[in-house]
């Protein structure tokens, strides 16, 4: 059901890419609720203290999951967007490089955290986010996504870091 609510946009942002757009899933109340439930329920008894969401779609999903788990929410943002003392990391993207940051006081040492984003592709953004969380002492329990693009190998990179991956749907190719 969820897979059918995700729109595919060919040749975006460049030729040959099949962009998986979750705005259609988010706009469907039943699909949105199902996605949040499926992301949250496996961790309902795991003692999660925080849900970390990657800008920007990870904020939408992560906030909803945090509410359901009665956990706090932590934004992971592009460099320069957070107002307080931050920790920053550079990372590689499918189309170049970027930097992201987290507030230095966002998580406590040994706090159980799950990471949420809409999609895992090459894994650059998610592995950088895991590194940021771990640099603050967080215990990253899982990395959770609505979509996995397994052909790009990102989920395997996360598993190699010792972090389980929880994805709701997979699409071949990219």
- 7, 30, 45, 57: the catalytic one is 57
Contact criterion met (CB below 8 Å) for 51 and 74: yes
User: Is 57 tagged catalytic?
Assistant: yes
User: Is 45 tagged catalytic?
Assistant: no
Distance from C-alpha of 146 to C-alpha of 166, rounded to nearest angstrom: 8
**Three-class secondary structure of residue 112 per DSSP:** strand
Angle among Cα 48, 93, 157 to the nearest 5 degrees reads: 50
E strand map for the chain? 7-10, 18-21, 50-54, 72-78, 86-93, 96-103, 112-120, 139-148, 165-170
Neighbour-count burial for 116-136, b at 16+ CB within 10 Å, e otherwise: bbbbbbbbbbbbbbbebbeeb
- 55, 94, 134, 139: the catalytic one is 94
Structure tokens at 102: 């987290």
Active site residues: 57, 94
């Amino acid at each position: 059901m969820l897979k059918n609510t995700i729109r595919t946009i060919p040749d975006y942002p460049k030729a040959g890419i099949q962009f998986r757009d979750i705005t259609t899933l988010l706009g469907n109340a039943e699909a949105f609720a199902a996605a949040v439930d499926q992301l949250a329920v496996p961790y309902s008894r795991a003692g999660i203290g925080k849900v970390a969401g990657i800008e920007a779609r990870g904020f939408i999903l992560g906030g909803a999951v945090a509410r359901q788990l009665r956990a706090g929410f932590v934004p992971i943002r592009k460099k320069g967007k957070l107002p307080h003392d931050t920790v920053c990391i550079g990372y590689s993207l499918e189309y170049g490089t970027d930097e992201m940051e987290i507030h230095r006081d966002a998580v406590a040492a040994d706090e159980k955290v799950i990471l949420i984003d809409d999609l895992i592709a090459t894994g650059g953004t998610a592995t950088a986010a895991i590194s940021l969380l771990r640099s603050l002492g967080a215990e990253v329990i899982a990395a959770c996504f609505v979509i996995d693009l397994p052909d790009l190998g990102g989920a395997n990179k996360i598993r190699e870091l010792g972090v389980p991956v929880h994805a709701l749907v997979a699409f071949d190719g990219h």
